[in-house]
Each structure stands twice: as C-alpha cells, then as structure tokens.
Structure 1
Amino acid sequence: MDDVLDIAGGICLVLGAVFIMLAGIGAVRFDDTYARMHAAAKAPALGVLLIGVGTALTIRTTPAVIVSLLVVALQLIAGTVGTHIMGRSVYRFIRPPMPGPDELARDEAETEGD
C-alpha cells in the first residue's frame, strides 16, 4: 500500500509542477494583460493543490498533512484575493478590457448613482 501512495504522490507532485510551469509560460506568452493574469492565477492554484496532495500522500505523517493542507488553503485564498485586486487595478488605472460588453463599468455607474 505504501508503494501505491508513493506513486500517487509522485504523480501529483509532477503534475503540480507541470501546471505551475505552464502557468509561467502562459504568463510570458499571452499578449493581453487579462489573459496573463488568468494564466498566472488559475493554473498555479491547481498546481499548488496537486503539490500539497502529493506531499501529503508521500510523507503521510499527521503534521505534514496538516501543514500541507494549511499551505494549500492559504495559497488558494491569497491567490484569489491577489488576482482580484490586480485585475481591478489594471481595469481602473492601466488598460481597458478588450471590446465587448463592459459589465463592471455598468455596475459601477449604477452604484455611483445611489
């Protein structure tokens, strides 16, 4: 049973590293600021989750599992909040979004009218 958990943990670790690597490549290769933010936020979240699961499966001690879950939870919270703040700043001060419906501007106009 230990061998199966070690193999599953190793697979999770490798997949997590691949997702984080692809996110880095996407953040460099995409042209639009919003696409870069998407690549820099979504894939690393899954990568950190997989690395945390892989670490917990490989080490298999209670403190390691608790620390691994805590790191994953904090990373998911911090990544989500950070991406939201970065996107809002880019929208307001740097670059308008691509052509199409701008729902955020409509919502902000409705809120300012109150």
Structure 2
Amino acid sequence: MSGILDVLAGVLVLAGSTLALTAAIGVVRFPDTLSRMHAATKPQVLGLLLVLMGAALRLRGHPDVGMLILAGLFTLITAPVVANRVGQLAYREQSFRDDLLTKDDMAERTED
C-alpha cells in the first residue's frame, strides 16, 4: 500500500511540475500582459496544488502537512485577486493588444 501511495505522490509532483513549466513557457512566449497573466495564474496554481498534494501524500502523518494545506489555501485565495488587479492595471495602462480581445467588457465601464 505504501508503494502505491509513493507512486501516486510522484505522479502528482511530476504533473504539477509539468503544469508549472507550461505556465513559465506561456509567460515568456505570450504576446501581451493579459495573455501572460492568464498563463501565470491558471496552470501555475493548479500545478502548485498538485505538487502540494503529492508532497502531502509523501509526508502523510507528518506535522508539516498542515503547512502544505495552508500554502494551498493561501494560493487559492490570493491568485485570483492578484490576477484581477494586474488585469485592471494592464487595461488602464493600455498594455494589451486590441486584436486579441474577442469582447471588451471593460470599455463600457471606463467611458466617462
């Protein structure tokens, strides 16, 4: 039983690391701030949660599992807020490409 949980923990850590790698590649390759913000938040948060779950499986019964849970919760709470603020700032500073937007929901809110 312990061997199966160790293999599952390894798979979770590798999957999370792969998602974090794709997020890093997206941050470097995407053309504008809004696209980069998406790459920096969505796969990065899921990747971190997978790595934390793998570590929790490997450390089962250890007191540090509680800290892993707290790290995951704080990430889930703060990542959307930070992404929202970065997106608003990028829009206000016009540091995005208009041709990549399919619908501009902020235009009606910012017109004075």
Bucket of the pairwise TM-score, normalised by the shorter protein: 0.7 to 0.9
TM-score (normalised: structure 2): 0.87
How many corresponding residue pairs?
A: 110
* Residues 32, 96 of structure 2: 8 Å contact kept: no
Structure 1 residue ranges (4+ consecutive) displaced by more than 4 angstroms after TM superposition: none
Name 2:106's counterpart in structure 1.
Answer: 104
What percent identity do the matched residue pairs reach? 35
Q: Distance in 1 between matches of 2:43 and 2:37?
A: 10
User: 1 or 2, which has the higher helix percentage?
Assistant: 1
Gap runs ≥5 in structure 1:
none
Q: Which residues of structure 2 form unaligned runs of 5+?
A: none
Q: Distance in 2 between matches of 1:24 and 1:6?
A: 27
Deviation, 1:94, is 3.5
Once residues 17 and 26 of structure 2 are traced to their aligned partners in structure 1, the CA distance between those partners, rounded to angstroms, is 14
Note the C-alpha offset of 1:47: 0.5
Deviation per CA, 1:23-54: give whole Å up to 9, x if none: 00110011122111111111111111101100
Identify which of structures 1 and 2 has the higher relative contact order when contacts are C-alpha pairs closer than 8 Å and 6+ apart.
2
* Partner of residue 64, structure 1: 64
Residue 100 (structure 2) pairs with residue 92 (structure 1): no
Residue pair 2:13, 2:54 contacting (<8 A) in 1 also: yes
Output one character per residue of 1:65-94: Cα deviation in whole Å (capped at 9) or x when no partner.
221111011012221111111111000124
TM-score (norm 1): 0.86
Measure how far apart 1:101 and its partner are: 3.1
After the TM superposition, which of the residue ranges 5-14 and 74-83 deviates more from structure 2?
74-83
* Contact 1:91–1:97 (CA under 8 A) maintained in structure 2: no
Deviation at 1:108, TM superposition (A): 4.1
